Homo-oligomer: A and B are copies of this chain.
């Protein structure tokens, strides 16, 4: 079992801008997430992917960062993406400060018990995940009725779209999650 069917590129072998961009992530978490190593064989694609990702995921305006990760885990669960569920499950546990939410949502995004706002967020994401041709005004009405703004709806829909791509890149390359992801956020940090 290799990390990716099409090989990986290590941090040191990436173009300067990408190396400088990913180094802080590697330093902070102690490893380079395999999606970056796999996409590294195509620097222009990795760069665009990172740009799109950061534009949608690194903001707390409207949707919180935890809610953004909730969208990722729900849609990746519905798409049965092992890499994305394990990697973003870890991030969701940390951002939502909840050790159980990710496993529940990833396993059954349709039925996991969530509060009304989270359920509306996940429902909107699911409506675009597997049968996007059925998406319509009824889904928007439900989202708005739950208090979601048009900007939040755009974010949910766009994150779902981006991970429709990301899930398929992981399926294409049989991407393996870094082992660190499996345990991150499962236990509360020790009190200081």
User: Which of A130, A172, A179 has the largest number of chain B CB atoms within 10 A?
Assistant: A172
Q: Mark A164-179, 1 if CB is under 8 A from B, else 0.
A: 1111110111101101
In the complex, chain B residues whose CB is within 8 Å of the CB of A103: 82, 85-86, 182
User: Is A20 an interface residue when CB atoms closer than 8 A count as contact?
Assistant: no
Q: Which of B55, B99, B108, B168 is in CB contact (< 8 Å) with A182?
A: B99
Contact call A161/B157, Cβ cutoff below 8 A: no
* A106 at interface by CB-CB < 8 Å: yes
Q: Is A64 an interface residue (CB 8 A)?
A: no
Decide yes or no whether A31 CB sits under 8 A from chain B: no
Min CB distance A143 to B, Å, is: 11
| Cβ–Cβ contact B44 & A140, under 8 A | no
Kindly list the 9 A-B residue pairs having the minimum CB-CB distance in the complex, ordered from nearest: A80-B133, A48-B52, A157-B172, A48-B51, A161-B168, A164-B164, A44-B55, A80-B108, A165-B165
Binding site for B on A (CB under 8 A): 1, 5-6, 41-42, 44-45, 47-49, 51-52, 55-56, 77, 79-82, 85-86, 99-100, 103-104, 106-108, 110-113, 128, 130, 132-136, 140, 150, 153-154, 157-158, 160-162, 164-169, 171-174, 176-177, 179, 182-183, 186-187
Q: Given known contacts A103-B182, A164-B167, what 13 new A-B pairs fall within 8 Å (CB)? A: A5-B140, A48-B49, A48-B55, A52-B52, A79-B133, A82-B103, A86-B107, A99-B183, A100-B177, A106-B107, A130-B130, A157-B169, A164-B168
Q: List 17 A-B contacts (CB under 8 A).
A: A42-B158, A44-B55, A47-B51, A49-B52, A80-B107, A80-B133, A85-B107, A100-B182, A106-B107, A111-B134, A111-B171, A128-B171, A153-B172, A160-B168, A161-B168, A164-B168, A182-B186
